[in-house]
Amino acid sequence: MSRENDKNVFELVLEMLEERFKDDNRKASLAKRIFKEFLISGKRGLDRIVREEIYKALESEDGNETTIEENRGRRI
């Protein structure tokens, strides 16, 4: 039996994710986080991770702005 036979599914998944995203640490890390969090907390954990990632993407240097005040300043 090959070396793979000695490994459980958890180890295999992590190894394969690592292999799959070997050129992109960020993706590898995110995929592993998703896998582990899903095993621990199920769909809720997965949702939380995605929420965090969305928040990170939406976050800007000047805060999480949503709207711009209209008609600021006077017309010339």
Partner 1 sequence: MKLRLKKIEVEGFKVFSRNHSLDFNAPIVVILGPIGTGKTSILEAVEYALYGSLYSIKIRREFRVEDLINDFCDNLAVKLILTDENGVEYEVYRYRDRAGRVKAYLKVNDETIEDEWSKIDSQIEHLLGIGLEGYARQIALRHREIEDIIYGTDMQRSEALDRLLGIETLEKIFRSIPLKRIEDELSKIQNQIEIIDIRLRKEEPLDELVGKLERYKKELFEAEEKIRERERLLSRYRDELKKLKEKEKEYEKIREKEITLKAEIAQLKKRLKALEKEVLEEDLEVLVEKIRSSIMSALKEIMAYKDLEEIEKLELSQIKLDVMLRVFHEKLRKLEIALENMNEEALDINYQLASQRNHYNALKRKLADLEAKMYTLEKEYNTFKFLTEKFGSRAEIRKKIEKLEIELGKIDNLIRLNTCINDLGKHVLSAYIKNGEAECPVCGTKIDDEILKRIKKRLSAPREEAFNRDKILKNLEELKRAYSKLIELEEKIIEMREIENERNNLAKELDEVSANIEELEDLISDIDFKISRINNLIASASSLLLKLARVREIVELRKELEVKKQELNKVLKKAMEVEFDKNYYNTIEEKYYAALSEYNNLSSYLKKLNIDIENLKEKIAYIQELVNKKVRLEKKAVKLSRLRDDLIEIKAAFREIQSSIRRIVVRRIIEKMNDLFQQMYVHPDFSELTIKIRNVKFKREGREYERSMYEILAKRTRDGKWIPALKKMSDGQKRIVILSLLTALFRLSPHNVSFIILDEPTPSIDYECRKAMIKMLAKIEGIDQIIVATQDESFKRIVQDEPAAVIYKLRHEKEGADIEVLR
Binding mask 24-53 toward partner 1 (x if CB under 8 A, else -) reads --xx--xx--xx--xx---x--xx--xx-x
- Reading phi first (left if > 0) and then psi (alpha if -120 to 50, else beta), residue 58 is in alpha
Six-digit token pair at 20?
């799959």
Task: Identify the residue among 20, 22, 25, 41 touching partner 1 (CB under 8 A).
Answer: 20
Quickly list DSSP for 36-66: HHHHHHHHHHHHHHHHHHHHHHH--TT----
Q: Which residues bind partner 1 (CB under 8 A)?
A: 1, 4-6, 8-10, 12-13, 16-17, 20-21, 26-27, 30-31, 34-35, 38-39, 43, 46-47, 50-51, 53-54, 56-58, 60, 62, 65-68, 70, 72-76
